[in-house]
């Protein structure tokens, strides 16, 4: 990457954009809501079951001017979901300030592996065992979305739930490739522990991105 472009990326004036699309939010509290998704490349968390591994290498995704990302997004929706990759790899201050100045609600989906930047109307925190969230991020989460890949993830989910603020909504979501095996366990768990709710990747059932 050219030095001048790298500087703009470091400042958040450009971001390595992997893809952007208008769709329906499939997961969590805003499930069913039309939203514009901005997927930013770059992630070093390394979840073995990750379904967007092509996002990991930021160098594969073109540095794109943040104001162009914003202009594209607000043409479609006033709800903009920023995801990745791990979007907090980057400074998202300018992205969120510009989106909010144009009347958009800013939502983020993050593992919390890096300190929070930007101003968010909705924070979906999805902690990963291999790189735990920064301590400061738990208090900012509106929803905690724990991915359940195997039985030990219920214990990890409880450990993470003990750290979030009292208003945070708690979700258990089966990892897609093991959903047939994990859904019955999640259903039982939620009935026995009703502070949790079930989240499903409904966009995959709807066959939309
Ligand atoms: S944090 Fe997200 S993008 Fe990164 S490896 Fe894990 S699931 Fe994939």
| Cβ of residue 143 lying under 6 Å from some atom of ligand 1 | no
173 CA to centre of ligand 1 in angstroms: 15
Q: What is the mean pLDDT of residues 24-40?
A: 98
The C-alpha atoms of residue 154 and residue 4 are separated, in whole angstroms, by: 46
Query: Does residue 1 surpass a pLDDT of 80?
Result: no
47 CA to centre of ligand 1 in angstroms: 5
The C-alpha atoms of residue 29 and residue 34 are separated, in whole angstroms, by: 13
Count of residues in the chain: 209
Residue whose Cα lies nearest atom 7 of ligand 1: it is: 50
What is the rounded end-to-end Cα distance, in angstroms, of the chain?
29
| Cβ of residue 43 lying under 6 Å from some atom of ligand 1 | yes
Q: What is the per-residue DSSP string for 169-189?
A: EEEEEE-GGGHHHHHHHHHHH
**Helix residue ranges, H only, 21-150:** 66-76, 93-101
Q: With H, G, I as helix, E, B as strand and everything else as coil, classify residue 5.
A: helix
Residue whose Cα lies nearest atom 6 of ligand 1: it is: 47
The C-alpha atoms of residue 178 and residue 175 are separated, in whole angstroms, by: 6
Q: With H, G, I as helix, E, B as strand and everything else as coil, classify residue 39.
A: strand
Q: What is the mean pLDDT of residues 82-87?
A: 98
Query: Does residue 206 surpass a pLDDT of 80?
Result: yes
Tokens matching residue 46: 């390394």
Buried b (16+ CB within 10 A) or exposed e, 101-113: eeebbbbbbbbbb
Q: What is the mean pLDDT of residues 119-140?
A: 97
34 CA to centre of ligand 1 in angstroms: 23
Which pLDDT score, from 0 to 100, does residue 2 have?
Answer: 85
| Cβ of residue 55 lying under 6 Å from some atom of ligand 1 | yes
| Cβ of residue 50 lying under 6 Å from some atom of ligand 1 | yes
| Cβ of residue 112 lying under 6 Å from some atom of ligand 1 | no
> Could you identify the residue written with the tokens 């366990």?
185
Q: pTM above the 0.75 mark?
A: yes
Nearest-Å Rg of the Cα atoms of the chain is 17
16 CA to centre of ligand 1 in angstroms: 16
Query: Does residue 170 surpass a pLDDT of 90?
Result: yes
| Cβ of residue 52 lying under 6 Å from some atom of ligand 1 | yes
Domains in the chain, ordered, with CATH? 3-205 (3.20.20.70)
């Amino acid at each position: 990457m050219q030095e001048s472009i790298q500087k703009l990326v470091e400042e958040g004036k450009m971001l390595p954009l992997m893809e952007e699309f208008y769709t329906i939010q499939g997961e969590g509290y805003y499930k069913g809501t039309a939203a514009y998704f901005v997927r930013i490349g770059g992630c070093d968390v390394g979840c073995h079951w990750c379904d967007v591994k092509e996002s990991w290498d930021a160098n594969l995704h073109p540095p794109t001017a943040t104001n162009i990302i914003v202009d594209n997004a607000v043409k479609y929706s006033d709800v903009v979901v920023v995801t990745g990759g791990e979007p907090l790899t980057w400074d998202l201050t300018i992205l969120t300030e510009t989106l909010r100045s144009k009347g958009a609600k800013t939502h983020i989906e993050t593992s919390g592996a890096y300190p929070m930047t930007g101003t968010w109307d909705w924070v979906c925190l999805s902690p990963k065992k291999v790189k735990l969230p920064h301590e400061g991020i738990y208090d900012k989460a509106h929803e905690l979305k724990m991915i359940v890949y195997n039985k030990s993830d219920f214990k990890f989910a409880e450990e993470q739930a003990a750290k979030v603020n009292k208003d945070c909504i708690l979700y258990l979501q089966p990892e897609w490739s093991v959903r047939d095996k994990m859904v019955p366990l999640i259903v039982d768990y939620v009935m026995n522990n009703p502070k949790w709710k079930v989240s499903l990747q409904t966009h995959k059932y709807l066959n939309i991105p």
